[in-house]
Amino acid sequence: MMRLTLILLLLLPLGLRAQSSLLDRVSRDICACMQGVRSAEAVEKAESCLESSTEDLLPEILAKYDLNVSVPSDRRRFGNLLVDRLAEDCPILLTLELPSDEKQRWSDGKSEDHPPTFRSKKAPPPPPMEATTGEVPTRWKFSGTISVRPVGGVLRLKDESGEEVTFEVPRGLLKPYRLHVGDRVDVEYRREWRKGPRKIVLVVTEISGVGGD
C-alpha cells in the first residue's frame, strides 16, 4: 500500500542534504507547524506551513539559493532542498495517509514539475476514525489470523486479502494468551519511529477477540 508523507509529496523528490542552518530552521518550523494535523487536511496544511515558515526569510533565501519562494515554482524547488531534513527530523509525517483523490492527482501527469510518488513498505490502512474532532489518532486497529507462531515478541497476522503484516509485541502482553497459527486476533497498535534502523514499527498495545477459525 502506498504510504505518503504529505510534506514529502508537496516538496518533491529526495535531494542531497546540504549543510545549511537556514534549511534546518525552516525544516524545524514546518515540523512544528504540522504537529497534530489530520491526514484529511494535511496537503492544505503543508502548503500553509511552508509559506508561513519562509515568509520572513524571502531575502535570505533569494540571496543564498536564487529562489523567490513567493513564486510557486521556486517554492517547490526550495522545498526539494528540505525533503531529506523533514524525513529525518520529523518522522511523524511518515504516518500521514494521502487521501485517495490526492493520490490520483500526484500519480498521473508527466510534467517536469510533477513530483513522483514516494513508496514504502506496505502497512495496514488506518481504520475510519471514531471521532473526527480530535488530533491524528495515536492508535489503530487490525484484524487477521496468525500466520507464524509468535516468538521473540513478533506477531505476524494475515488479513482476508492475504496481506501479511508484522507487529512488535511488548514483553508480557502475550502471556495471558495461548496463541496458535490460524487463530484470529484483533489488535490495537501504534506506530513508532526507530532511529537506528530508520523505519516505522507497528507496536501492539492491546490484544482482543482471540479465537480459532
Select from 107, 123, 154 the last residue of a domain. 107
The per-residue pLDDT for range 80-104, each reduced to its tens digit, is: 788 777 777 776 666 665 544 444 4
Asked whether the beta carbons of 95 and 27 are under 8 A apart, the reply is: no
State whether 100 and 173 are in the same domain. no
Query: How far is Cα 205 from Cα 173, in angstroms, rounded to an integer?
Result: 8
Residues of the chain under the 50 pLDDT cut: 1-19, 99-123, 126-137
DSSP three-state, residue 166: strand
Using the 8-state DSSP alphabet, how is residue 9 labeled? H
HSE, CB side, 13 Å, CA atoms: give it for residue 158: 12
Q: Please, which residues have CB within 8 angstroms of residue 199's CB and are 6 or more apart in sequence?
A: 121, 193
76 in any annotated domain: yes
Q: Can you give the pLDDT at residue 80?
A: 79
Asked if 212 contacts 180 with a C-beta cutoff of 8 angstroms, the reply is yes
* Range of the structural domain that residue 195 is part of: 140-212
Q: What dihedral do alpha carbons 104, 115, 55, 60 form, nearest 10°?
A: 180
Q: Residue 163: which CATH number?
A: 2.40.50.140
Task: Give per-residue pLDDT as tens, 113-148.
Answer: 444 333 334 445 544 444 334 444 467 889 999 999
Same domain, 12 and 102: yes
What's the number of domains the chain is made of? 2
Three cell numbers written together for 129: 476514525
